[in-house]
Structures are given as structure tokens and as C-alpha cells.
């Protein structure tokens, strides 16, 4: 019963559409009607700028972190990594945004932050280094997932190996159109780095 309660809470947390909220409250626009049509942080950065994008990415990370930390705060013994996956499910298929959500990158990172902050730091470094050299947010996200798997193996955190592998496969799936655009050299590059 406790597992079900926290899984539902995690899904609802994940379902909070940060990009839509920031866009409508702060800028009076629906982010889904602009750019890529995605409600995630990347599209928010492109359309609304660094301030809005930063708020959205932090909120999306926090959703995953809260999902994994809440059981600790309530001293409930449930598999926190699995609970975190429900936040990713909510972010990707949000109840509050017609089940059309983001690509799961930031919220996945939030899960890792809630479980192993050192791995999260490695992921941030990996993301920023890849972004610096490639200028592709999508490629940086995918590379970071692979680095997370390798680092989890090095740490011998086998639960994290399984979860980071599952999340990376899901992130790769969600980025399949980006992969095609990278191959065709039509994927947008960032201009601020």
C-alpha cells in the first residue's frame, strides 16, 4: 500500500508541467505552441530564454529528487529508485498536460541527485563538456546517460546500473527524431556557449 501511495505521488509530481506553467504565468504564452512544441527545458531555453529555461530545468530536476527523497522524510521503506521512475513517467506522460510531456532528461537527473549526488555531479560535468564541444543539447543528454551507466558500474551500484540503463534507453527512444536530425545535420545547436 505504501509503495502505491508514493508511486502515485511521484507520478503526480512528475506530471506538473513546469514549462507550461512558467510560459503562461511569466510570459503569457503556451510553450507547446512554439519551437519544437515540447514543454521541456530545452524548448523553454530556446523560446523564452535563459531565466525561464533555468527555472524549468531546476523544477524538472526537483520533481525527480522529491520523488526519491519523500519516502526518506516519511521514514517509509520503499524502493526509492523505482518510485523515482514514476516521476519520469509523469514528466513524460503528464496527467496535467494531456499526457504529452518532456523527454525525461532533467527528471531522470533528479532521481540520481536524490539517490547518489556524486553520480549527479559526474552527469552534470559530462553534460556540460559534451555540450561545450558539440553544441547539441540532445546529444549531450544521450552521452550523459551512457556516462551515468559506466559510472554506476565503476561505483558498483548495481541498482543504479539497472535504473540508469533503463532511463538511458528511454531517453534514447525519446530522442529518436533528434538522432535523425543530428545525422542529417539539421538539429539546432545552442548559440550561447
Is a pLDDT exceeding 80 seen at residue 41?
A: yes
pLDDT confidence of residue 76:
94
Location of C-alpha cell 506538473: 16
Mean pLDDT of 45-63: 94
pLDDT confidence of residue 39:
87
Measured between alpha carbons, how far is 56 from 44 in angstroms, rounded to an integer?
A: 7
Mean pLDDT of 145-170: 95
pLDDT confidence of residue 192:
74
Measured between alpha carbons, how far is 24 from 31 in angstroms, rounded to an integer?
A: 8
- Confidence category of residue 52, pLDDT binned at 50, 70, 90: very high
Write out the three cell numbers for 123.
Answer: 552527469
* Tens-digit pLDDT profile for residues 58-96: 999 999 999 999 999 999 999 999 999 999 999 999 999
Write out the three cell numbers for 176.
Answer: 529518436
Mean pLDDT of 30-59: 91
Closest CA to 61 of 111, 10, 136: 111
DSSP state of 190: P
Measured between alpha carbons, how far is 99 from 92 in angstroms, rounded to an integer?
A: 7
How many Cβ atoms are within 10 Å of 101's Cβ, its own excluded?
Answer: 28
* Tens-digit pLDDT profile for residues 165-177: 999 999 999 999 9
Q: Give one word for 65, left, alpha or beta, with left for phi > 0 and alpha for psi -120 to 50.
A: alpha
Kindly list the domain boundaries of the chain, sorted by start residue. 2-183
- Confidence category of residue 38, pLDDT binned at 50, 70, 90: confident
pLDDT confidence of residue 124:
97
Q: Is 89 helix (H, G, I), strand (E, B) or coil?
A: helix
Q: Do 108 and 171 meet the contact criterion of CB atoms below 8 Å apart?
A: yes
- Picking from 27-41, 104-118, 136-150, which range would have the lowest pLDDT averaged per residue? 27-41
Amino acid at each position: 500500500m505504501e509503495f502505491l501511495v508514493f508511486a502515485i505521488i511521484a507520478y503526480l509530481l512528475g506530471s506538473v508541467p513546469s514549462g507550461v506553467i512558467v510560459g503562461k504565468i511569466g510570459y503569457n504564452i503556451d510553450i507547446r505552441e512554439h519551437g519544437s512544441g515540447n514543454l521541456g527545458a530545452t524548448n523553454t531555453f530556446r523560446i523564452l530564454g535563459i531565466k525561464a529555461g533555468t527555472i524549468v530545468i531546476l523544477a524538472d530536476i526537483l520533481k525527480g529528487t522529491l520523488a526519491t527523497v519523500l519516502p526518506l522524510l516519511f521514514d517509509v521503506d520503499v524502493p526509492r529508485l523505482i518510485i523515482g521512475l514514476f516521476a519520469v513517467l509523469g514528466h513524460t506522460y503528464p496527467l496535467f498536460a494531456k499526457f504529452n510531456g518532456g523527454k525525461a532528461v532533467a527528471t531522470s537527473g533528479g532521481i540520481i541527485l536524490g539517490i547518489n549526488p556524486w553520480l549527479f555531479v559526474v552527469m552534470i560535468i559530462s553534460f556540460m563538456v559534451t555540450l561545450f564541444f558539440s553544441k547539441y543539447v540532445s546529444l549531450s543528454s544521450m552521452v550523459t546517460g551512457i556516462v551515468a551507466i559506466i559510472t554506476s558500474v565503476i561505483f558498483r551500484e548495481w541498482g543504479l546500473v539497472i535504473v540508469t540503463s533503463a532511463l538511458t534507453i528511454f531517453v534514447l527512444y525519446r530522442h529518436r527524431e533528434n538522432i535523425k536530425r543530428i545525422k542529417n545535420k539539421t538539429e539546432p545547436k545552442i548559440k550561447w556557449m
